[in-house]
Amino acid sequence: MMLEARRITLSYGPHEAVKDVSLHLEEGQCLMVIGPNGAGKSSLIAALSGSKPYAGTVLLNGQDSKALSPRGRARLVGVLSQRQAVHYAFTVEEVVRLGRYPHRKGWFSGADPAGEAMVDRALAWTGMGEMRSRSILSLSGGERQRAFLAQVLAQDPAILMLDEPADSLDLKYQKTLFELTETWARQPGKAVISVVHDLSIARRYGSHAMLMHHGKCVAQGEKAVVLKADNLNTAYGMDVYAWMRDLSRPWI
Amino acid sequence: MTPSGEVPSGTSPALLLLMGKDRRSEGYGLAAWLVMGAVVIAIALLCISLGSVSLPLKVTWQTLWDAILGREAADGVAASILVHVRTPRVLAAGLSGAALALCGASMQGLLRNPLADGSTLGVSSGASLGAVLALAFGFQLPGLPYAGTMLMAIAFAFLSMLLILALAYAFDRSFSTHTIILVGVIFSMFAGSLITLVMAFSGEKLRSIAFWTMGSLAGSDYTQGLLLTLTLMACGGLLVLRAGELNAFAIGEENAHHIGIDVRSVKLQVLISVSALIGVAVSIGGTIGFVGLIIPHMVRLLTGPNHRRLLPASAFAGAGFLMLCDLLARTLLSPVELPIGVVTSIIGAITFVAIIFRRRGRRAA
């Protein structure tokens, strides 16, 4: 098992954003975390990636996440956050190359051709190759998100955690992103957890799903089971299927 | 190379390496280091040769070379001025400038705030308080005229740093940069008011304290130069080695955590190094403002924000800048000497306004 989380609770002061959530992720799985606003999806990612202090246990490849060194954890888990605020004019290439940090041997380790090749591949996968010398400040929100996606791909972690990754992307790059993650999860020793709002994307690209509501897990497992009308209607407080049917009526 | 770090396509790999655009290291090549070193040495020689008694560069170089080789100088008076007065002073100015600029560049990256510098943390004010107390109460060590002030400044710099970090940690266990800045600013104001209080009751010592707070490198000796060199090698060296981590901090602390940086440990290493450098620099030259703020700003326009280039370039630029400011301070109204802090603040403020106008003009265009 690549990731096992037992009874995770994450609080902001008196408010419990994630309450007693357990989950597991096997190799090759692409777990889509869905739920309404404030359900605790991003907080769950923060706990699983060790970004925020939490109660409970997270095992990464059988090792307790809290016992891992920051570099060791970053080799196992890579995170693409919701928003990327940058203040200085780093080039895209410099931002992406930082993804190789957990693999760096030491201060005087010299050249890293394999790492450089990974940076080049990540830039190519995300369509940022031609923008590699551009300042990150000159990019649009979507382009910036792709640069940081390239960074996390260059990081080459075992588990890719994406927190609403498609928010600022146009349709072409949404498709590219989720196809990439789908391909990523198929590699040996890899898996993906992604927070998404779009249920169609969860259904199309996820192998499994987890539905959250008020910080708790309402359902998890095979996507077909989790995405049942009853579960969705309870979590979202509306007739989800009716709205989806309305949206998917032929419009051209 | 443009400020955004772009390099014209077709540039040869050898030239890229010399320019410091080696893709793997992102740092400077040997040639760039040599050029920066040569420029700083040239400025140092110029500053040593000029003063109340100006000497040709050739004579300056020959006298210094004789002194290094232990040979008797042809002109004993000139040798005495150059070797025992000007050289240690210029050395102290260069090393202090390098330390202050390095601290400013590091703090601006760590705190993701282009207005930060070594004094943002409050350590500079703490060191000043220690030195002012030493001057006001006549704390001295037998046989070492400036050691009392210096020791008090360094001790207070470290005590201030411990207090600031302890308070920041007590307020916020996550040790966030916002809390550190807030505590630093509050502590600076507190230390500033204590300095004013001490000065108000200092009687006839007020003049010497006031002059010290405005910054001065007069009377610098080789011991101070050695202390600065050792601190710069240890703490400045650590900051330069942490350039990659500072890049990650400058992009975002959350991102730094995600790529595997031990955020708390690196932050502590940088803050302690900056505190030590500021403490030693303040103890020797007093409060010298604007170097840590303005130099990294100007250098960033040339090198881009990557700390692998920004930190060494800022150190060299800071050294050159402060040596020239010190030259102005002692020659502009000669024989009256201006406080160096006044010179750096006037030049710094004018340059800062010019940079802002230039940037706004470029944006509007």
- The CA angle B317-B318-B319, to the nearest 5 degrees, is 90
CATH number for the segment(s) A3-84+158-247: 3.40.50.300
Q: What is the DSSP string of B36-96?
A: HHHHHHHHHHHHHH-SSS---HHHHHHHHHHHHHTPPPSSHHHHHIIIIIIHHHHHHHHHH
Strand partners, A33: A195, A210
- Nearest CA-CA distance, residue B26 and chain A, Å: 8
Higher pLDDT, B4 or A195: A195
pLDDT tens per residue, range B50-79: 887 777 878 888 888 888 877 776 667 777
The reported pLDDT for the residue numbered B348 is 83
Contact at CB, A102 and B259, closer than 8 angstroms: yes
Checking if the pLDDT of A111 tops 70, the result is no
DSSP code for B141: B
Higher pLDDT, A236 or B65: A236
pTM reported for the whole predicted model: 0.85
Span of A75-89, A186-200, A232-246, B140-154 with lowest mean pLDDT: B140-154
Nearest CB among B4, B112, B260 relative to A89 is that of B4
Q: Is B6 on the interface with A (CB under 8 A)?
A: yes
* Distance in angstroms (rounded) separating the CA atoms of residues A14 and A19: 12
Q: Cα A204 from chain centroid?
A: 16
pLDDT tens per residue, range B83-124: 888 899 999 999 999 999 999 999 999 988 887 777 777 888
| Whether residue B335 has a cis bond before it, omega within 30° of 0 | yes
Q: How many CB atoms lie within 10 A of CB B190?
A: 16
**Domain spans of chain B?**
27-364
ipTM of the complex, rounded to two decimals = 0.90
The reported pLDDT for the residue numbered B2 is 34
The reported pLDDT for the residue numbered A252 is 62
The reported pLDDT for the residue numbered B8 is 39
Give the mean pLDDT of B355-362.
Answer: 73
Checking if the pLDDT of B217 tops 90, the result is no
Give the mean pLDDT of B120-131.
Answer: 85
Strand partners, A10: A18
Give the mean pLDDT of B175-180.
Answer: 77
- From chain B, pick out residues whose CB is under 8 angstroms from the CB of A114: none
Residues with Cβ within 8 Å of residue B202, at least 6 apart in sequence:
B135, B136, B209
Going B145 to B163 to B183 to B179, the CA torsion angle's sign is: positive
The reported pLDDT for the residue numbered B1 is 33
The reported pLDDT for the residue numbered B62 is 82
Q: How many CB atoms lie within 10 A of CB A119?
A: 23
Is the distance from CB of A36 to CB of A235 less than 8 angstroms? yes
Residue A244, phi then psi, degrees to nearest 5? -65, -40
The reported pLDDT for the residue numbered B57 is 78
A-to-B residue pairs, Cβ atoms closer than 8 angstroms? 100
CATH number for the segment(s) B27-364: 1.10.3470.10
The reported pLDDT for the residue numbered B146 is 67
* Distance in angstroms (rounded) separating the CA atoms of residues B137 and B119: 25
DSSP code for A137: G
Span of A118-132, A145-159, A171-185, B313-327 with lowest mean pLDDT: A171-185
Q: Which two tokens stand for residue B4?
A: 């955004």
Checking if the pLDDT of B9 tops 60, the result is no
The CA–CA distances, whole Å, from B173 to A36, B165, B264, B352 equal 31, 11, 10, 36
pLDDT tens per residue, range A12-24: 888 999 999 999 9
The reported pLDDT for the residue numbered B18 is 47
The reported pLDDT for the residue numbered B5 is 37
The reported pLDDT for the residue numbered B349 is 83
3-state secondary structure of B153: helix
Mutation target vs B (from A87, A95, A193; most B CBs, 10 A cutoff) = A87
The reported pLDDT for the residue numbered B353 is 83
* Distance in angstroms (rounded) separating the CA atoms of residues A73 and B33: 36
Mutation target vs A (from B22, B246, B259; most A CBs, 10 A cutoff) = B259
Query: Taking a contact as any Cβ pair under 8 Å apart, which residues of chain B between 83 and 112 contact chain A?
Result: 109, 112
- From chain A, pick out residues whose CB is under 8 angstroms from the CB of B307: none
Q: Is B12 on the interface with A (CB under 8 A)?
A: no
Higher pLDDT, B334 or A119: A119
pLDDT tens per residue, range B250-262: 998 899 999 999 9
Rounded to the nearest 10 degrees, how much is the dihedral formed by the CA atoms of A113, A117, A120, A123?
Answer: -120
Give the mean pLDDT of B155-171.
Answer: 85
The reported pLDDT for the residue numbered B279 is 84
3-state secondary structure of A221: strand
- Nearest CA-CA distance, residue B265 and chain A, Å: 11
Contact at CB, A90 and B255, closer than 8 angstroms: no
Q: What percent of chain B has pLDDT over 70?
A: 89
Q: Which two tokens stand for residue B116?
A: 């930060």
The reported pLDDT for the residue numbered A106 is 67
Residue A108, phi then psi, degrees to nearest 5? -115, 30
Q: What is the DSSP string of A66-119?
A: GGS-HHHHHHHEEEE-S-----S--BHHHHHHGGGGGG---TT----HHHHHHH
The reported pLDDT for the residue numbered A107 is 59
Choose among B169, B304, B352, B184: nearest CA to A136: B304
**Domain spans of chain A?**
3-84+158-247
Give the mean pLDDT of A206-229.
Answer: 93
Burial B339-360 (b: 16+ CB within 10 A, else e): bbbbbbbebbeebeeeeeeeee
Q: Is A142 exposed, middle or buried (0-12, 13-18, 19+ CB in 10 A)?
A: middle
* Distance in angstroms (rounded) separating the CA atoms of residues A161 and A151: 13
Span of A196-205, A222-231, B11-20 with lowest mean pLDDT: B11-20
Span of A86-95, B141-150, B265-274, B289-298 with lowest mean pLDDT: B141-150
Higher pLDDT, A180 or A119: A119
Q: Is A236 on the interface with B (CB under 8 A)?
A: no
Contact at CB, A84 and B257, closer than 8 angstroms: no
Q: What percent of chain A has pLDDT over 90?
A: 67
Q: What percent of chain B has pLDDT over 90?
A: 34
The reported pLDDT for the residue numbered B11 is 42
